[in-house]
């Protein structure tokens, strides 16, 4: 039998003999890898959910037509819509319209959709629909502007049915509708969201101007492929239009979603890496204690002919086994985290679909990362195990002294001082670029952490001695023994405490950063807006306020000034206020905004009671 297999057996027996102590090491790996793998699986599941939603919405859609950013018109003209419907290569054309709304029962009680939303779109029958058809489950198709269909899931969730009346509130005001039927899709992940639908004529009368529509989706004839239809329609429609296949639009939108979610993944994975970083100290400390307890065993093995390399490799092998076990459990823990989050989101009306986001990358990254972190953390104790001499190691007396820590203490002090200087300098350089200041503060924080780690054993001697006498006094001899044992090995005490110190420091720093950013935003708003209240529409402002809202608010006795704020696409003398074409520009419908916002160095007036506009000084000088 080879010496390698013998040492592996010794390592496995040692793992079995130290199950309780190694449990902490496994737990440290599990917590870190669970967060890493869970973060990756969660973002994968979230991305998959969005992919399913977008794919379902555009399933069966051959071509999507919309105006591009350079177009001189907003929306597709009704004439163009009719031309598309009469085209020989086109089977059906649907208006791509969707209106955010707020709903209430007929007695005026608002329907709370929680995390869901309420919207109204157009219903097309099975012979005229483009894409996935709505299946009529119960009732009849709607007619006119006061009849709608409702999705079956929402009807069951809110206790609604055929014949019930609803009050619809939108940007234009409010009106009543009657539910004539319920619908469902083959794949419905709407959760608590309410989806109403009315006929095209009714929707056009309610929400369109009769001249343009927001966009259209097209299905081609049986003998026309989607890309072939794009090649036919694009030249005919001209440069003002974007004409692309439904599949291409799905890839474009899902790509944008994945790109946006990548930031969430990086952010969450960072917390997992922080947990692993804190865990490295626990892992290193655990293996250090195990190695110290096994000095006689290592000495005996050396006396029997085991080489230094074999001893080191045996401890590393133990670390590999512990890392693999902890990482595997971490992956299972990550799956559990995603399942819990999915269940919680589902209870709030935001179902995530059936996928847990378990991908090979989520498993492999967690396994490799957890194992590497465990091995790296155990490397120093493993090297000490290999340096044991057959005779000298027969004594289990530790020889760490203050003098032996002199080099480490000096190094730690220098690094700590350098970190403090960099952090203070970066924070104080108000005129420097933000990137430079961020780099200085970042490196300063890193140096402070590293310097504290090296310097902490020397710092622990006076602190542990003083605290030990105070905290140990009520416990008598047991307290004195605990205090003495803590002072006996400053390195071990400092390493154990540093894991807790680093964890608390990071949590505190993140909490302070969050509070600071919140306060900064609050201060910025207070500096720019002097109004006492800001009134916005429902769904976080996605529904604009009705025009009469400002007049109604102004009638209140305790209201002194009211001004409306909105946005529109504008340019001045052919020059946009932003590069790349017309962009949204704030404007007021009526009133003196000088009474409601804070502005400095004003030339002219901020009173927009009469027609006119206000521009920043830089933009005014540029035009």
Give pLDDT tens digits for 195-232: 899 999 999 999 988 888 988 989 888 888 989 988 98
- Segment 354-369 mean pLDDT: 82
| Domain residue limits, the chain | 1-64+246-397, 65-245, 398-525, 538-622
Distances (CA, A) of 431 to 426, 439, 503, 519: 10, 15, 33, 22
pLDDT in tens, 451-504: 888 888 887 777 777 777 777 777 777 777 777 777 777 777 777 777 778 778
More confident site: 301 or 612: 301
Q: In the structure, how many helices (H) and strands (E) does the chain have?
A: 17, 17
Sequence-separated (6 or more) residues with CB below 8 Å from residue 568: 584, 585, 587
Q: Which pairing describes strands 565-572 and 135-139: parallel, antiparallel, or unpaired? A: unpaired
pLDDT at 535: 83
User: The whole model's pTM is what?
Assistant: 0.65
Q: What is the pLDDT of residues 149-200, one digit of tens each?
A: 999 888 888 888 899 999 998 877 789 999 999 998 765 555 678 889 999 9
- Tell me the average pLDDT of the chain: 79
234 is written with which tokens?
């694009």
pLDDT at 577: 47
Give the whole-angstrom CA distance, residue 292 versus residue 400.
Answer: 13
pLDDT for position 143: 92
Rounded to an integer, the average pLDDT of 417-445 is 85
Long-range contacts of 438-447 (CB under 8 A, 24+ apart): 443/419, 444/418, 444/419, 444/420, 445/419, 446/419, 447/415, 447/416, 447/418, 447/419, 447/422
Outline where 149-245 has alpha helix (H).
152-158, 200-207, 226-237
Q: Taking residues 542-565, report their average pLDDT.
A: 79
Alpha helices of 87-199 — where are they, by DSSP H?
152-158
412 versus 581: the higher-pLDDT residue is 412
Determine contact, residues 134/182, Cβ cutoff 8 Å: no
- Checking if the pLDDT of 596 tops 70, the result is no
CA distance 394 to 109: 82
Longest CA pairwise span in the chain (Å): 100
| Bridge partner residues of 244 (DSSP) | 64
Q: Assess contact for 179 and 198: CB atoms under 8 A.
A: no
Strand partners, 307: none
Per the DSSP assignment, residues forming a β-bridge with 149 are 181, 197
Q: Please report where in the chains the tokens 């006076």 appear, as a residue.
A: 462
Q: Please, which pLDDT band fits residue 123 given cuts at 50, 70 and 90? A: very high
pLDDT tens digits, residue range 375-397?
A: 988 888 888 888 877 775 555 55
3-state SS class at 176: strand
In the predicted model, is pLDDT for residue 242 greater than 50?
A: yes
Per-residue pLDDT at 510 exceeds 60: yes
pLDDT in tens, 37-72: 888 888 888 878 777 777 777 777 888 888 876 666
């Amino acid at each position: 039998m080879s010496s390698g297999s013998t040492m592996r057996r010794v390592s496995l027996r040692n793992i079995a003999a130290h199950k309780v102590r190694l449990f902490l090491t496994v737990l440290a790996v599990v917590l870190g890898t669970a967060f890493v793998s869970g973060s990756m699986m969660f973002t994968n599941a979230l991305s998959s959910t969005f992919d399913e939603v977008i794919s379902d919405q555009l399933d069966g859609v051959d071509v999507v037509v919309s105006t591009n950013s350079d177009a001189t018109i907003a929306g597709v003209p009704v004439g163009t819509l009719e031309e598309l419907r009469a085209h020989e290569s086109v089977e059906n054309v649907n208006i791509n319209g969707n209106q955010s709304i707020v709903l209430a029962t007929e007695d005026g009680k608002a329907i709370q959709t929680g995390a869901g939303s309420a919207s109204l779109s157009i219903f097309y029958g099975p012979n005229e629909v483009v894409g996935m058809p709505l299946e009529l489950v119960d009732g009849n198709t709607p007619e006119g502007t006061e009849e709608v269909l409702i999705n079956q899931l929402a009807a069951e969730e809110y206790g609604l049915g055929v014949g019930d009346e609803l009050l619809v509130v939108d940007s234009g005001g409010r009106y009543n509708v009657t539910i004539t039927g319920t619908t469902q899709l083959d794949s419905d992940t709407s959760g608590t969201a309410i989806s109403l639908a009315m006929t095209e004529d009714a929707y056009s009368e309610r929400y369109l101007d009769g001249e343009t529509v927001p966009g259209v989706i097209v299905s081609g004839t049986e003998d026309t492929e989607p890309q072939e239809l794009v090649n036919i329609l694009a030249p005919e429609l001209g440069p003002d239009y974007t004409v692309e296949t439904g599949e291409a639009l799905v890839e474009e939108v899902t790509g944008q979603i994945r790109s946006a979610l990548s930031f969430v993944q990086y952010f969450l994975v960072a917390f997992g890496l922080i947990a692993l970083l804190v865990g490295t100290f626990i892992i290193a400390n655990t293996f250090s204690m195990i190695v110290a307890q096994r000095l006689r065993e290592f000495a005996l093995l050396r006396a029997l002919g085991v080489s230094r390399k074999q001893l080191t490799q045996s401890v590393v092998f133990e670390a590999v086994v512990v890392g693999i076990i902890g990482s595997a459990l971490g992956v299972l823990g990550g799956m559990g985290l995603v399942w819990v989050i999915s269940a919680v989101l589902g209870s709030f009306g935001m179902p995530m679909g059936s996928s847990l986001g378990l991908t090979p990358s989520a498993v492999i990254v967690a396994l490799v990362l957890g194992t590497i972190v465990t091995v790296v953390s155990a490397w120093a104790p493993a090297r000490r195990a290999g340096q044991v001499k057959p005779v000298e190691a027969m004594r289990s007396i530790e020889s760490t002294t203050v003098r032996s820590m002199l080099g480490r203490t000096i190094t730690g002090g220098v690094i700590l001082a350098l970190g403090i200087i960099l952090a203070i300098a970066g924070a104080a350089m108000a005129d420097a670029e933000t990137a430079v200041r961020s780099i200085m503060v970042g490196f300063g924080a890193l140096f402070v952490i590293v310097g504290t780690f090296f310097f902490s054993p020397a710092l622990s001697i006076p602190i542990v001695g003083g605290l030990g006498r105070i905290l140990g006094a009520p416990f008598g001899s047991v307290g004195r023994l605990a205090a003495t044992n803590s002072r006996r090995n400053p390195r071990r005490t400092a390493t154990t405490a540093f894991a807790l110190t680093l964890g608390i420091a990071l949590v505190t720093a993140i909490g302070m950063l969050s509070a600071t950013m919140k306060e900064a935003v609050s201060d910025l708003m207070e500096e720019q807006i002097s109004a006492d209240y800001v009134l916005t529409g429902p769904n976080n402002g996605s529904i604009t306020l009705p025009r009469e809202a400002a007049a109604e608010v102004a009638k209140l006795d305790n209201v002194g000034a009211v001004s409306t704020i909105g946005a529109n696409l504008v340019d001045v003398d052919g020059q946009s206020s932003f590069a790349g074409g017309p962009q949204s520009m704030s404007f007021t419908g009526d009133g003196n905004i000088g009474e409601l916002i804070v502005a400095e160095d004003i030339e002219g007036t901020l009173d927009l009671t009469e027609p006119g506009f206000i521009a920043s000084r830089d933009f005014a000088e540029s035009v």
